[in-house]
Structure formats: structure tokens, C-alpha cells
């Protein structure tokens, strides 16, 4: 089951929540349930919620209210669907500003999620992915693995070695390399990534 606790930008059929619903085969009426906090401005969710909060001096203290609302929405969804696995989508990176003056790392902890690092497959991903893994570990969070996604059709010789380099340097398994595609598979439960995610969950 998909869950995106905070999303920013316009609604519509190409929004992240709408794509998640289609990929999971869920009714479109569940959109408010899988994306409980939505903000129209196309900015990081925390900035879209309060544009000056992260730049005000002195900065207001963080508020846990948005995270509490998201956790309640997640529990309600899981009570109704009893899913084998819930995949919580973040918002662009570990250090992205989130609602309530918090950061995405606070939400991983608050939602009691096991991190799965997702990066692009091409040039530059070794540095970005390893930095994210290191930042998670310094916060006491142990990722279950990483997934790389091919974001462009063009050839990139670095894609042949990047998964192995990251796996060797981090000690984490590469749980999948996703091809470039405009639309997700209709039955994503049948993909190899699903099998690998379940195996990683069982190993925790």
C-alpha cells in the first residue's frame, strides 16, 4: 500500500498521489487518505506550508502536529486495508524541510519507517546515495537497502558499475534497478522489486 504523508504542488492525474493510487490499483477516492497533507505551492512541503518558517530569525520551535496527523492517517489506512507492506514515499531527500518546521528525517523516525534509499542510476549517484546512507546511519537509522532508477533514456557508461560500487561501499544490498518508463507496471506486486522488498522486511 502506498502512503505519501506530505505532498506539494498542483493536484491532478499526474500528481504523485494520483500515480501512486494507479500503481497500487486503489480507488481514486482514497487520495485524501494516502496523501493527508497537501499544499498547492510547488516547493518542499515544509516551505509550501509556511514559506518563511525556515528563514525567520529566531526560528519558531518545531511543531509535531502535522506529523501526528499523518501518523493517524497512516494507522487508519493500515487498519482498513491490512496491507502486507506499506511503502511510504518521502519528499525529495533526507534533509528536505517538512511541515511543522521539521525535516524528513524526523518523519522517518516518527512514522516508525525502515528507510529504503532511492537514487537515480546515472552519473553522480554514488556520491548522493552514499551521503544519504551515511546521514541516515549518523541519526541511528539503518536502511534496508537501496534502489536505483533510470531517469533518462540516453546511454551513460556509469550505470554499469554504480549499483555494485554503492553496495560494496555501504554494505547494503541493491534491491532493484528500475528501467526508464513512463508508466508503472499494472501489477507492481508481481515485480522482482516487490519480492526483494518483502525479503528485506523479513530480514529485519
**Which tops the pLDDT comparison, 182 or 76?**
76
- Which cell goes with 106? 524526523
Average pLDDT of the chain? Answer: 89
For β-strands 87-88 and 97-98, DSSP reports them as: unpaired
CATH architecture of 1-113: 3-Layer(aba) Sandwich (3.40)
pLDDT given for residue 32 in this prediction: 94
Domains 1-113 and 115-204 share a fold: yes
Question: Residues 4, 99, 117, 120: which is the catalytic one?
Answer: 4
pLDDT for residue 89: 96
Domain ranges of the chain: 1-113, 115-204
pLDDT in tens, 65-116: 999 999 999 999 999 999 999 999 999 899 999 999 999 999 999 999 999 9
More confident residue, 201 or 148: 148
Domain at 115-204: CATH code? 3.40.50.300
* pTM of the complete model: 0.85
4 annotated active-site: yes
Angle at 188 between CA 184 and CA 194, to 5 degrees: 125
Q: For residues 43 and 49, what is the distance between their CA atoms, to the nearest angstrom?
A: 9
Amino acid at each position: 500500500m502506498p502512503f505519501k504523508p506530505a505532498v506539494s504542488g498542483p493536484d491532478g492525474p499526474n500528481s504523485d498521489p494520483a500515480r501512486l493510487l494507479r500503481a497500487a490499483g486503489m480507488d481514486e477516492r482514497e487520495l485524501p487518505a494516502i496523501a493527508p497533507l497537501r499544499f498547492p505551492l510547488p516547493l518542499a512541503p515544509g516551505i509550501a506550508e509556511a514559506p518563511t518558517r525556515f528563514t525567520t530569525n529566531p526560528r519558531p520551535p518545531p511543531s509535531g502536529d502535522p506529523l501526528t496527523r499523518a501518523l493517524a492517517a497512516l494507522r487508519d489506512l493500515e487498519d482498513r486495508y491490512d496491507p502486507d507492506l506499506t511503502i511510504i514515499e518521502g519528499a525529495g531527500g533526507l534533509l528536505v524541510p517538512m511541515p511543522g518546521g521539521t525535516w524528513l528525517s524526523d518523519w522517518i523516525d516518527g512514522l516508525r519507517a525502515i528507510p529504503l534509499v532511492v537514487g537515480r542510476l546515472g552519473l553522480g549517484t554514488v556520491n548522493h546515495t552514499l551521503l544519504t546512507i551515511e546521514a541516515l546511519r549518523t541519526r541511528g537509522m539503518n536502511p534496508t537497502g537501496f534502489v536505483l532508477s533510470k531517469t533518462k533514456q540516453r546511454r551513460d557508461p556509469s550505470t554499469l558499475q554504480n549499483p555494485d560500487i554503492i553496495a560494496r561501499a555501504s554494505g547494503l544490498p541493491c534491491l532493484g534497478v528500475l528501467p526508464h518508463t513512463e508508466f508503472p507496471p499494472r501489477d507492481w506486486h508481481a515485480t522482482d522489486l516487490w519480492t526483494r522488498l518483502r525479503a528485506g522486511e523479513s530480514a529485519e
